[in-house]
Every structure is written in structure tokens, then in C-alpha cells.
């Protein structure tokens, strides 16, 4: 049952790893809270994307994306997790960022005008545009860097400090 036992994370000694992880955690936290604040209208925002899905599937997408954003936070905050949950948390962050990347491309290529990109739910209305695609590329790059530096199987001496016992 090694995969179910919580383990400590090796502490990164580079400030850039800490800053990138905290920035991504804050991003996911702010986005998830703003989407959950008006969650009943969030599936309607997803319906405006013009995706070929029905209303039930739009609600499922809305629930899944918020779940992925919430599950991404423990890995980024370097919480004490089991190895399996660490993988689930890391992959959840990747899936959330990939979803927003694909939504940004879909909105910019297929639709001419969508009043709200939906990144921050319905309270904060941001128009569609290539800014979402470029911002997600930056966040995906940051996520790859953080995942590389924080993953225990590929710990590099220059990124991770020796843990004190």
C-alpha cells in the first residue's frame, strides 16, 4: 500500500520554483472560486462556446473543469500527499490548463464573438481573444517547469534541497 501512504515533498531550494508553484496555485484558486461563486450560470457560459454538446454535457464539463482546478492545488502547494494523489493532482493541473488552451483556440478560430471567455465565471466578464491562448501557453510552460522540478522521481540536485530529518 505504498501508493496510499502520504509522503513528504522535497523542498525546492530555488526561489523560481517556489514562485512559479505559488503563482499557479493562486491562479487555480482564484479561477475556481470565481467559477464556483456563480456556478449555476457557468454551464450557460460554456454553452455559448458553440461546442457540439447538449446542456447536460455542458454541466458535466463545467463540473469537471472546476474539479480539475481544485485538485491541481495540493501538488502546487507541496502538501503531504500519497504518490498516487500527487500524480492525480499534477495531471489535474495539466488537464485544466489544456482545456482552457483548447477553449481559447476554439473561441478564436470558430466563433466570431463570444461576450465572456468564461475563465473567471460569469461575474468577471473577459472577452474572447488570442490573449487566452497565449496566457495558457505561458501557464502550461510554467506548469511543465514546476512539475519537472517538484517530481520526486526526477529530483535534480540544483532544484531540490536536502530535506532535514
pLDDT per position as a tens digit, 27-47: 999 999 999 998 888 888 888
pLDDT per position as a tens digit, 89-131: 999 999 999 999 998 888 888 766 777 878 887 778 777 778 8
- Cell numbers found for residue 158: 540544483
Assess whether pLDDT exceeds 50 at residue 164. Answer: no
C-alpha to C-alpha distances, 145 to 132, 142, 161, nearest whole angstrom: 20, 5, 17
**Residue in 136, 102, 150 with CA at minimum distance from that of residue 31:** 136
Say which residue the cell 464556483 belongs to. Answer: 36
Q: Identify whether the C-beta of residue 142 lies closer than 8 Å to the C-beta of residue 94.
A: no
* 3-class DSSP state of 7: strand
Q: In whole angstroms, give the CA distance from residue 32 to residue 143.
A: 17
- Cell numbers found for residue 95: 488537464
Of 85 and 53, the structure prediction assigns the larger pLDDT to: 85
**Could you count the other beta carbons within 10 Å of the beta carbon of residue 74?**
19
pLDDT per position as a tens digit, 148-160: 888 765 555 555 5
Amino acid at each position: 500500500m505504498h501508493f496510499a501512504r502520504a509522503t513528504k515533498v522535497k523542498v525546492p531550494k530555488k526561489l523560481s520554483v517556489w514562485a512559479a508553484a505559488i503563482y499557479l496555485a493562486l491562479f487555480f484558486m482564484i479561477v475556481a472560486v470565481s467559477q464556483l461563486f456563480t456556478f449555476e450560470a457557468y454551464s450557460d457560459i460554456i454553452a455559448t462556446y458553440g461546442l457540439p454538446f447538449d446542456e447536460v454535457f455542458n454541466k458535466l464539463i463545467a463540473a469537471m473543469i472546476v474539479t480539475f482546478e481544485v485538485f491541481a492545488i495540493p501538488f502546487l502547494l507541496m502538501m503531504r500527499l500519497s504518490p498516487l494523489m500527487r500524480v492525480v493532482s499534477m495531471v489535474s493541473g495539466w488537464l485544466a490548463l489544456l482545456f482552457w488552451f483548447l477553449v481559447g483556440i476554439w473561441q478564436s478560430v470558430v466563433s466570431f464573438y463570444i461576450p465572456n471567455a468564461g475563465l473567471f465565471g460569469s461575474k468577471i466578464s473577459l472577452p474572447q481573444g488570442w490573449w487566452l491562448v497565449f496566457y495558457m501557453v505561458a501557464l502550461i510552460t510554467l506548469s511543465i517547469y514546476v512539475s519537472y522540478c517538484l517530481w520526486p522521481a526526477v529530483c535534480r540536485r540544483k532544484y531540490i534541497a536536502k530535506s532535514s530529518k
